[in-house]
Amino acid sequence: MRIGLVARFLGLPIGLGTYAVNLLQALDRREDEHEYFIYTPTWNEVPPLGPRFRVRRSYAPRGSRAAHTLWDQTLPAVAAAREPVDLVHYLHAAAPPFSPGCPVVVNLLDAIRWVVPGYRLPYPYDWLERRAVRRADLVLTLSESARTDIERVLGIPRAKIRVTYLGGPPLDPEQSSKEPYFLFVGGTEKRKNLGAVLEAFRSVEGFELRVVGRHKASPVHETRREQSGVRWLGFVGEQELVELYRHATALVFPTRYEGFGLPVLEAMARRTPVIASTSSSIPEVARGAAILVDPDDVEALRDAMGRIAAEPALRAQLVERGAEVVSGFSWDETARATVAAYEELGAAR
C-alpha cells in the first residue's frame, strides 16, 4: 500500500509530536512493503527514515491556529490525491472537507474536549474536529476507555474505532537509589487532581513532594498553593524528568481523566512504584501493578502514600510488577496495530 501520513505536530515537544515521531520510527523498523508519504509543514523536524519514506513539505505559518487548520484542510489532501496514495492517515483530529480519493484514518487520542468541563475548543475548531472524526473511515485512539468515551459522546460506531496503545520507555536495567520524595507530574491542571495530593501529603512525615508541570492562570488550572515540604519544579527537560522518576520513592498520579496515562509507564520504566487512580484509562494501563485509589478519596490516597513510605516489601513488589507491565507496551506493537488497521481498511475497499 501507498500510505499518506499527515503529521503537522511532528517534532514538536507535545504529546501529538511524541506520538508522531515514535510511530514513524516504529513503522520504519517494520519489514513490510508499504510505502509512506509524510505530509508536514516546512518548519517541522523529520527523523531519519529509510527509503520507504518520502517527505512532502508545504508551507504553513507558525503560531496561527486558523492557518494551521487551513493547512490541515487543504494541502495534505491535495498532495495525497496527486501521488496518489491508497490511504491517508491524519495523526491528529483533522480531515479534509473533500475526499482525497481514498480512505481516511483519523487519530483522536482521547475525548477530553467533550468529557471534562473547560476543555472544549472554541467554534469552529470543535465542529471541525467532530466532523473529522465522524467522516473518517476509521478512528484510532489510545485505550478502550477512550474508545468508549468517543462512542458515547460523539456517536461514533464502536466498530469504526480501533485501539493502538502507546509504547512505554525502555526499562532501566537496575533500580536507582531512592530519595525521600513523592513525585507528581501534571502541574496545576485541574483534571490531574493536585489538590487531593497536597491534602493527602499533609499527613506524610519525613518526605518531600516534588511537583512537575506548568502553572497557568486559566479555567482548567488550580490556584497554586504554597505548602510546607512541597517543591514546585515547573517545566523540566526530558532527561531531568527521567532522573526525577528514577530517584522518587513513588509517583503519585490520582488523575481524573487520561486518554492513556503515559506517566504511569514512565515511572514503571524507571523502576519506581506508582500510586494512581481508578478513573478512565489508568487501570487499563497499570494492569494491576500500581496502587489505585478513587481520585475523590483523599483518605485512601493518604493511606496509599503512608503504606509506600513505610513498607519496603510493598515497594519492591510494585517495582517488580511494574517492570513486567511496561515491558508489554512497545512502539513496535503500536506500529503493528496501526498497520493492521490500514490493511483491514484496504481489504474492505
Q: Give the model confidence (pLDDT) of 22-78 as tens digits.
A: 999 999 999 999 999 999 999 898 999 999 999 999 998 887 889 999 999 999 999
Per DSSP, helices labelled H in 13-111 are 15-29, 65-73, 75-82
Distance CA 278, CA 288 (A): 11
Q: How many H helices and E strands in the chain?
A: 13, 13
Domains in the chain with CATH codes: 2-167+330-348 (3.40.50.2000), 181-326 (3.40.50.2000)
Grid coordinates belonging to 85 = 496514495
Nearest to 273 by CA among 240, 299, 310, 236: 310
Which of the 8 DSSP states describes residue 253? E
Distance CA 10, CA 258 (A): 22
pLDDT of residue 125: 93
pLDDT of residue 216: 86
pLDDT of residue 349: 66
Which stretches of the chain drop beneath a pLDDT of 70? 348-349
Which of the 8 DSSP states describes residue 101? S
pLDDT of residue 173: 96
CB-count exposure of residue 64 (10 Å: 0-12, 13-18, 19+): exposed
pLDDT of residue 98: 84
